[in-house]
Amino acid sequence: MPDLASLPTLYDYQLLDTSYNPISESALVSSLSSADVVFIGEYHGNHASHLLQTRLLAALHRNNQRDGRATILSMEMFDRAQQAILDDYLAGNIGERYLINKAPAWKNYQGSYRPLVEYARQHSIPVLAANASADIVRCIGRQGEAYIAVLDIQEKRLIAAQPFAEIIGYEEKFFAAMSGANGKPAERMHNTYLAQITRDNTMAESIARALGSTPGGQVVHINGSFHSDGHLGTVAALKRLRPELAIKVFTPVRIDVFNGEKSKSASEQADDFVYLVNPQPEEFVDREYRKQVLAERFAEAGAKAKRCRAVEP
C-alpha cells in the first residue's frame, strides 16, 4: 500500500495516479493537459471535493493560457433552462442573490460552487449549464418516456435529442445503487432510471456542443461521482457522441474504504485518477428522524411533480 498523507481536516485530500500511487498537483495537471475533457467527480457537499475542483480548474486554466487554449467550465449543478441567468451573472448584469434565488442555484451553492463560478467570472471562462431541465427530468421520473410527447419544441431543447440513449452497463449499476428503494414499483424505478440517463445524455450532448463551437478547447466538467465513475454515465454518453475525444476521469474515494493493494478491476479504466477524502458525517443516526426527513422530501417532490402535464393514455 502506498504511503498516504494524513487527512486531518475535511478540506484535505490525497491525489493518486492511475496506479494508485501519490502524485503531486503539478504532475497531475501535466497528465491532464492533453485531455479534451476532464471529469472531476465529487461527493456532493464534500469540502475536499470542492476545494480540489477549484484548484484544478485554476491550474488547468493557467496551463491552457500558456498554450493559447480555451478553458470551459461545465457543471451538473446548472441546467440548460438556467443558462441565460448564469450568463447574465457572469456578465455582471445581475448580482449573486438574483442568481441563487431565480436560477435557482443548489442550496449549497455559496459554500460549494461559488469558488468555481467566481474564478470563471474573474477570468472570463464560459460556464456551461450542462444538465437537463430539472422540471422535465422530474416529470420523466414520474411519467416515463411518454412525457416527451407533451413537450414543445423549446422544451425539447432543454434535454438531449436522444435522452434515453442506451449506456451499456449503467442500468445494472444504477439499480444496484438504488437497491434500498425497495418500496418503489418496478415501473416507477424504471422511470427513475430514465430520468437519470436523461441527465447523463444531456450533459454529454452539452459538452460535445461546447467543444464543437470551441475547437481545441478543454472542458472541465463537475458532477457527482456516480455520473462519471468507471467511465459510465455521462462519460460513456459522451464517448458515444464523440468517440475520438481524449477523456480523463478523476474520482473520489473515501480513505476509510480505500485498499491501496488492490488491482484495478475490469470496470475501472487505466486512465482514471483517484483522490482520497475523509468520510462525511453520518447524515442520520435516529431512524425515526430519517423517516420524517425523507417523508418531507418525498412530499416536496410530489408537490413539484403535480406541475407535470398529463400524458395521454
Above 90 in pLDDT, residue 259?
A: no
Q: What is the DSSP string of 156-187?
A: HTTS-SSTT---TTHHHHHHHHTTT-TTS-HH
Asked if 273 and 249 count as a contact pair (C-beta separation under 8 A), the reply is yes
Query: Is 7 a member of any domain?
Result: no
Task: State the CB neighbour count (10 A cutoff) for residue 265.
Answer: 7
Domain that holds residue 22: 13-305
d(CA 44, CA 176) in angstroms, rounded, equals 20
Query: Is 172 a member of any domain?
Result: yes
Query: Is 5 a member of any domain?
Result: no
In the predicted model, what is the mean pLDDT of the chain?
91
pLDDT level of residue 294 (50, 70, 90 thresholds): confident
Above 50 in pLDDT, residue 229?
A: yes
Q: Which of 22, 18, 52, 15 is nearest to 35 (CA)?
A: 18
Asked if 16 and 8 count as a contact pair (C-beta separation under 8 A), the reply is no
Please write the tens of the pLDDT for every residue from 59-68: 999 999 999 9
Q: Report which listed range, 2-11, 221-230, 289-298, is most confident.
A: 221-230
Average pLDDT rounded to a whole number, residues 138-146: 94
What global pTM score does this model have?
A: 0.92
Phi, psi at residue 253, to the nearest 5°?
Answer: -135, 135
Residue 208: give its domain's CATH number.
Answer: 3.40.50.11550
Query: Is 313 a member of any domain?
Result: no
Query: Is 312 a member of any domain?
Result: no
Continuous segment of H or E residues that includes residue 59 = helix 47-66
Query: Is 22 a member of any domain?
Result: yes
Is the preceding omega at residue 104 within 30 degrees of 0, hence cis?
A: yes
Domain count within the chain? 1
pLDDT level of residue 180 (50, 70, 90 thresholds): low
Above 70 in pLDDT, residue 267?
A: no
Per-residue pLDDT at 264: 45
d(CA 159, CA 18) in angstroms, rounded, equals 33
Query: Is 3 a member of any domain?
Result: no
Query: Is 162 a member of any domain?
Result: yes
